[in-house]
Amino acid sequence: MNDGDAYATEEWDLNPVSLYAETKVEAESEVLAAASTTFASCCLRLATVYGVSPRMRFDLTVNEFVRDAMLADELLVYGEQFWRPYVHLRDAARVIAEVLDAPGSSVGGEVFNVGNTDENYRKSDLVELLRERLPDATVRFVERDEDPRDYRVSFAKLQDRLGLVPERTVSQGIDEVISLVRSDMIDAFSPLYRN
């Protein structure tokens, strides 16, 4: 849900639009309810993850776009005008480790969006980043009038409260996935690389 130019914060009302999202909201409620004087529970809401990993995922938007732009007959892009936040998997992992090491008084009972406010992109923005690197890629946009997952997210709380700012950019992630695909080290269309 994109409310004009507003960025979603941790305080926004949650509006799950799928069973998956509903279970995440329920799990978050259970985790926060488990907080006590001896257990500091905390919830991290990760932006859409991307990047190369030992167990590669090509069912994540940035990674999938790179793969399809390089190897498929065409990259199909649905709803190119809709916003999503993105975070590199190494930055997400670093934030998780830092939160686990943080004093309970800093993180207990808290919810943090994990990402960088500057890393909110429309799918059309991702395509432009790809075209800078892969100018011969064939891209076809498929009109979609609405998508309930159209939103930009603020990650200010993560920076303000914990001093954590993800460092990697989608541009860097695209470059690293291009390098992996060019290496021919994996079959990027294998079902092993999808959840």
Going by pLDDT thresholds of 50, 70 and 90, the confidence category of residue 22 is very high
Q: Tell me how far apart the alpha carbons of residues 148 and 158 are, in angstroms, rounded to a whole number.
A: 25
> 42: helix, coil or strand?
strand
Digit-coded pLDDT (tens) for 102-117: 999 999 999 999 999 9
CA-wise closest residue to 113 among 178, 48, 36, 167: 48
Q: Which two tokens stand for residue 101?
A: 């090491």
Q: Tell me how far apart the alpha carbons of residues 154 and 47 are, in angstroms, rounded to a whole number.
A: 10
Domains of the chain are 19-193 (3.40.50.720)
Residue 2 reports pLDDT greater than 80? no
Query: What is the amino acid identity at position 133?
Result: R
Query: What is the amino acid identity at position 124?
Result: S
Bridge pairing between strands 83-88 and 48-50: parallel
pTM: 0.92
Digit-coded pLDDT (tens) for 122-160: 999 999 999 999 999 999 999 877 666 788 999 999 999
Q: Tell me how far apart the alpha carbons of residues 167 and 173 are, in angstroms, rounded to a whole number.
A: 11
> 194: helix, coil or strand?
coil
CB 64 within 8 A of CB 58: yes
